[in-house]
Structure 1
Amino acid sequence: MEPMKAHPVRRALTAAVAAALLGTLLIAGQAAAAEGASDAVPVGETWYDTDGNAIQAHGGGFLEYDGWYYWVGENKRHDSALFLAVSLYRSQDLKQWEFVGDLLTADTPGVCTTGTYAGTACKIERPKLVRNEATGKFVLWGHWETADSYAASHLIVATSDTIDGEYAVERNFRPGAGEVATEHADPTYPGTDGKWGYGSRDFTVFQDPDTGDAYLVSSQDHLSMRVYPLTADYTDVDWANSYPLFENRRREAPALAKIDGRYVIITSAQSGWYPNQAMYATTSDIADPAGWSQLAPVGNNTAYYSQPTNIMTLQGADGNPQYLYMGDRWNPGALGSSTYVWLPLTVDGADLSMDFHPEWDFDPATGSIVVPDLALVSEGRPVEATLADAAYPPSAANDGIAYNLNTSGDNTNYYKPAGVPFTWQVDLGRTRDLSRIDLSWRSYNGSETYSAYTVSASRDGRTWTRLADRSANTTVGFTTDALSGRYRHVRIEVTSVVNDHNGNAASWAAGLVEAQVWA
Structure 2
Amino acid sequence: MRNKFICVLVCLTICIQCFSFIGFNSENAMAATVSISNGIQFKDTSGNVIHAHGGGLIKYGDYYYWYGEYRDNSNYFLGVRCYRSTDLKNWEYRGEVLEPSSAAELNKCNVERPKVMYNASTKQFVMWMHWENGVNYGQARAAVAYCNTPDGKFTYQGSFRPMVNSGVTDHGLPGYMSRDCNVFVDTDGTGYFISSSNENMDLHLYKLTPDYKGIASLVAKLFVGKQREAPCLIKRNNYYYLITSGCTGWNPNQAKYAYSTNLASGWSDLYNLGDSTTYNSQPAYIIPVQGTNGTSYLYTGDRWAGAWGGKVNDSKYVWLPLIFESNTSLKLPYSDSIQIDTVAGTITYRDDTIAPDLSDGWGLVFSDDFNGTSLDTKKWNYNYPWGNTHTNRAYCAPENVSVANGVLKIKAENKRHPNAPATTNTYDGTFSLDYTSGAINTDKKFNFTTGYIEGRFKMPGTTGFWPSFFTLNSNGGRPPEIDIFEILCHEPTTLHTNYHYGSSKSHYNKQTVADLSKDFHIYAVEWDTEYIKWYLDGKQVASAFRDSQAIAAAKDMYLIINLAVGGWETDPNSSTDWSQGFECDWVRVWQKGADSIPEVILGDINNDKAVDSIDFALLKKYLLGDNVLSDERAKKAADLSEDGTIDAIDFALLKKYLLNQ
SS for the counterpart of 1:343 is strand
Equivalent in the alignment of 1:232: 210
1:280 aligns to 2:380 (yes or no): no
Change (3 A) 1:331 1:388: farther
User: What is the deviation of 1:389?
Assistant: 11
Equivalent in the alignment of 1:371: 349
User: What is the deviation of 1:223?
Assistant: 1.2
User: How is 1:219-298 mapped onto 2 (pairs within 5 angstroms)?
Assistant: 219-220=196-197, 221-239=199-217, 241-288=218-265, 291-298=266-273
1:326 aligns to 2:449 (yes or no): no
CA contact (8 A) 1:393 1:415 kept: no
Match for residue 464 of structure 1 among 587, 593, 611 = 587
User: How is 1:163-182 mapped onto 2 (pairs within 5 angstroms)?
Assistant: 163-182=150-169
Match for residue 85 of structure 2 among 68, 76, 91 = 91
The whole-number CA distance in structure 2 between the counterparts of 1:121 and 1:182 is 26
1:251-291 Cα offsets, whole Å, 9 max, x none, are: 10011111222111110001100100000000101122xx1
User: How is 1:71-470 mapped onto 2 (pairs within 5 angstroms)?
Assistant: 71-76=66-71, 78-112=72-106, 120-186=107-173, 196-208=174-186, 210-220=187-197, 221-239=199-217, 241-288=218-265, 291-318=266-293, 320-332=294-306, 333-349=310-326, 350-372=328-350, 376=354, 385-386=485-486, 394-395=494-495, 414-415=509-510, 429=521, 438=533, 440=542, 449-450=549-550, 452=552, 461=584, 464-467=587-590
The whole-number CA distance in structure 2 between the counterparts of 1:254 and 1:100 is 26
Change (3 A) 1:462 1:148: farther
User: What is the deviation of 1:42?
Assistant: 1.9
Instruction: Name the amino acid aligned to 1:46.
Output: Q
The whole-number CA distance in structure 1 between the counterparts of 2:283 and 2:519 is 35
Instruction: Name the amino acid aligned to 2:153.
Output: E
Instruction: Name the amino acid aligned to 1:302.
Output: T
Rg: which structure is higher? 2
Instruction: Name the amino acid aligned to 1:72.
Output: Y
User: What is the deviation of 1:110?
Assistant: 3.8
The whole-number CA distance in structure 1 between the counterparts of 2:157 and 2:51 is 25
Change (3 A) 1:108 1:346: same
Change (3 A) 1:397 1:110: same
User: What is the deviation of 1:431?
Assistant: 11
User: What is the deviation of 1:465?
Assistant: 3.9
1:48 aligns to 2:43 (yes or no): yes
Instruction: Name the amino acid aligned to 1:310.
Output: Y
The whole-number CA distance in structure 1 between the counterparts of 2:518 and 2:127 is 50
Instruction: Name the amino acid aligned to 1:286.
Output: L
Instruction: Name the amino acid aligned to 2:247.
Output: Q
Match for residue 68 of structure 1 among 32, 54, 63 = 63
SS for the counterpart of 2:510 is coil
Change (3 A) 1:426 1:389: closer
Change (3 A) 1:392 1:229: farther
User: What is the deviation of 1:46?
Assistant: 1.7
1:149-200 Cα offsets, whole Å, 9 max, x none, are: 11000011001111122211113100111323334134xxxxxxxxx11000
The whole-number CA distance in structure 2 between the counterparts of 1:425 and 1:106 is 64
Instruction: Name the amino acid aligned to 1:311.
Output: I
The whole-number CA distance in structure 1 between the counterparts of 2:223 and 2:558 is 41
SS for the counterpart of 2:245 is strand
Instruction: Name the amino acid aligned to 1:315.
Output: Q
SS for the counterpart of 1:93 is coil
Change (3 A) 1:282 1:54: same
The whole-number CA distance in structure 1 between the counterparts of 2:59 and 2:129 is 19
Change (3 A) 1:435 1:110: closer
CA contact (8 A) 1:218 1:254 kept: yes
Change (3 A) 1:394 1:370: same
CA contact (8 A) 2:54 2:284 kept: yes
User: What is the deviation of 1:426?
Assistant: 13
- When the two structures are superposed, what TM-score results if normalisation uses the length of structure 1? 0.67
Change (3 A) 1:51 1:250: same
SS for the counterpart of 1:342 is strand
CA contact (8 A) 2:486 2:496 kept: no
User: How is 1:496-511 mapped onto 2 (pairs within 5 angstroms)?
Assistant: none
SS for the counterpart of 1:107 is helix
Residue ranges of structure 1 left out of the alignment (5+ in a row): 1-37, 113-119, 187-195, 399-409, 417-423, 469-480, 487-519
1:99-154 Cα offsets, whole Å, 9 max, x none, are: 01101111112443xxxxxxx41000000001111111110111000101110000
Change (3 A) 1:75 1:483: farther
The whole-number CA distance in structure 2 between the counterparts of 1:86 and 1:128 is 10
Residue ranges of structure 2 left out of the alignment (5+ in a row): 1-32, 357-456, 460-466, 468-484, 499-505, 535-541, 562-582, 598-661
Instruction: Name the amino acid aligned to 1:49.
Output: D
The whole-number CA distance in structure 2 between the counterparts of 1:426 and 1:247 is 49
Equivalent in the alignment of 1:511: none
The whole-number CA distance in structure 1 between the counterparts of 2:518 and 2:214 is 56
CA contact (8 A) 1:219 1:252 kept: yes
Equivalent in the alignment of 2:571: none
CA contact (8 A) 2:57 2:66 kept: yes
1:351-392 Cα offsets, whole Å, 9 max, x none, are: 0011111011212331221323667259xx988643559899
The whole-number CA distance in structure 2 between the counterparts of 1:303 and 1:107 is 36
CA contact (8 A) 2:255 2:277 kept: yes
The whole-number CA distance in structure 1 between the counterparts of 2:596 and 2:351 is 17
The whole-number CA distance in structure 1 between the counterparts of 2:318 and 2:279 is 8
The whole-number CA distance in structure 1 between the counterparts of 2:496 and 2:523 is 23
The whole-number CA distance in structure 1 between the counterparts of 2:236 and 2:111 is 29
CA contact (8 A) 2:170 2:176 kept: no
SS for the counterpart of 1:336 is helix
The whole-number CA distance in structure 2 between the counterparts of 1:300 and 1:433 is 18
SS for the counterpart of 1:126 is strand
SS for the counterpart of 1:179 is coil
The whole-number CA distance in structure 1 between the counterparts of 2:50 and 2:194 is 26
CA contact (8 A) 2:112 2:130 kept: yes
Change (3 A) 1:483 1:235: farther
The whole-number CA distance in structure 1 between the counterparts of 2:220 and 2:497 is 40
Instruction: Name the amino acid aligned to 1:361.
Output: Q
Equivalent in the alignment of 1:16: none
- When the two structures are superposed, what TM-score results if normalisation uses the length of structure 2? 0.53
1:49-70 Cα offsets, whole Å, 9 max, x none, are: 0000000000011110011000
Equivalent in the alignment of 2:384: none
Higher relative contact order (CA 8 A, sep 6+): 1
Instruction: Name the amino acid aligned to 2:209.
Output: T
